[in-house]
Structure 1
Amino acid sequence: MPSIFNKDKLEMKLVEPELEEFTWKKSSKLNAIVQSDDYVFDVKTIGPGKFSYPYHYHYNSEEIFVVLKGKITLRTPEGFQDITEGEFAFFEKGPSGAHQLYNNTDDICTYLDIRSKKELDVCEYPDSEKINIMNARSMIFTKGQEVDYFYKEDDVLNKWIKLGFEFNKK
């Protein structure tokens, strides 16, 4: 059965992060209406002089923004461009899909955000050098802590011995 919704009849919830310039509203019940196994749906509004999420890209999810009302400025690796009512932007996985929105107008912009739903996604934030591991919760780390795969694994035999494991003697 199709799920039909009207952007003007959705209940919008104010999202107020710690930084005032990242304030927006999003639909609080749209995902209850559109019960998808593969996608997350949100209608969002960004007021004048406000940003969407920090500049980022996903390693495991694709995203589409459809501007429903108004105009918004999009930042990508290629630079800045305006997206207006009826236009949409697709963001592929990886660095080439990096994006951020800013409302450079005097009017509210409303857009539909469709993201592929994954049990695990990783976002990278190039401006702040953060990594966000997103599953049931978000865990955010600074990229500066990146280490080699075998970091601190060189004494594995003694770790096993300290845990009480007895190796076969040959």
Structure 2
Amino acid sequence: MPTLCNVQQEMICFEDSPLKEYIGYSSADIAKLSGLHDIACNFRILKQGQFSCPYHFHHNAEELFVILGGKGKLRTKEGIRDVCKGDTIFFETGMEGAHQLKNESEEDLVYLDLKTLHGFDVCEYPDTGKVNLVGKELFLKGKTTGYFDGEEHIEKIWKTVE
């Protein structure tokens, strides 16, 4: 049976970040709630000055963003570019698919985040050297670390990329 979801009704605030740059809004995994098993799907909202998540790439998950409203900046291996409502951005596995979104405008950046779920995924964070065994623990050169450890200087990192 098809499931209908509305971005305005599905949003919850996630405030588990100790860094204000990463506090934002997301829906639960609406694909999972709809009974799907091979993709994850979340609506996300970034307020002005917020980032989607630490700069990262997946080893076993392809991902795509559909920009539903607003505009922002997308950081990839190639640098930083503008994105806006109507854009669909595909991220392949590996370093070539590394990405991070930022909202630099006053308007909310609203997007749909879709990701494939084909077994165990490993996520890497090039800025900090972290490795995330998705759903398990984060490691930094042989020791366990927190998700936002090392992300305190994200604004400085972006300035070096521009």
In structure 2, the partner of 1:93 is 93
1:113, distance to aligned residue in structure 2 (A): 0.3
In structure 2, the partner of 1:78 is 78
Root mean square deviation, CA, Å: 1.6
1:115-165 residue CA offsets vs partner (Å, 9 max, x unmatched):
00133110000000000001xx331111x349xxxxxxxxxxxxxxxxxxx
Structure 2 vs 1, CA of residues 32 and 103 (structure 1 numbering), >3 Å: closer, same or farther? same
In 2, the alpha carbon distance for the partners of 1:4 and 1:37 equals 17
In structure 1, the gaps of 5 or more residues are 147-170
Q: 1:141 aligns with which of 139, 142, 154?
A: 139
In 2, the alpha carbon distance for the partners of 1:75 and 1:56 equals 10
1:105, distance to aligned residue in structure 2 (A): 0.4
1:82, distance to aligned residue in structure 2 (A): 1.3
In 1, the alpha carbon distance for the partners of 2:22 and 2:42 equals 17
Identical residues among aligned pairs (%): 38
1:74-100 residue CA offsets vs partner (Å, 9 max, x unmatched):
000001111111111000000000000
**Larger of the two Rg values belongs to structure:** 1
In 2, the alpha carbon distance for the partners of 1:76 and 1:138 equals 25
In 1, the alpha carbon distance for the partners of 2:35 and 2:69 equals 24
1:2-55 residue CA offsets vs partner (Å, 9 max, x unmatched):
222222232x11112111111110013623543211100100000000111100
In structure 2, the gaps of 5 or more residues are 144-162
Q: Counterparts in 2 of 1:146-161, with a 5 A limit?
A: none
Which residue type is aligned with residue 128 of structure 1? T
Which residue type is aligned with residue 7 of structure 2? K
In 2, the alpha carbon distance for the partners of 1:89 and 1:119 equals 23
In 2, the alpha carbon distance for the partners of 1:116 and 1:65 equals 12
- 2:106 aligned counterpart, secondary structure: coil
> Conserved in 2, the CA contact under 8 Å of 1:34 and 1:41?
no
Q: How many residue pairs were aligned?
A: 142
- TM-score under structure 2 normalisation? 0.82
- 1:21 aligned counterpart, secondary structure: helix
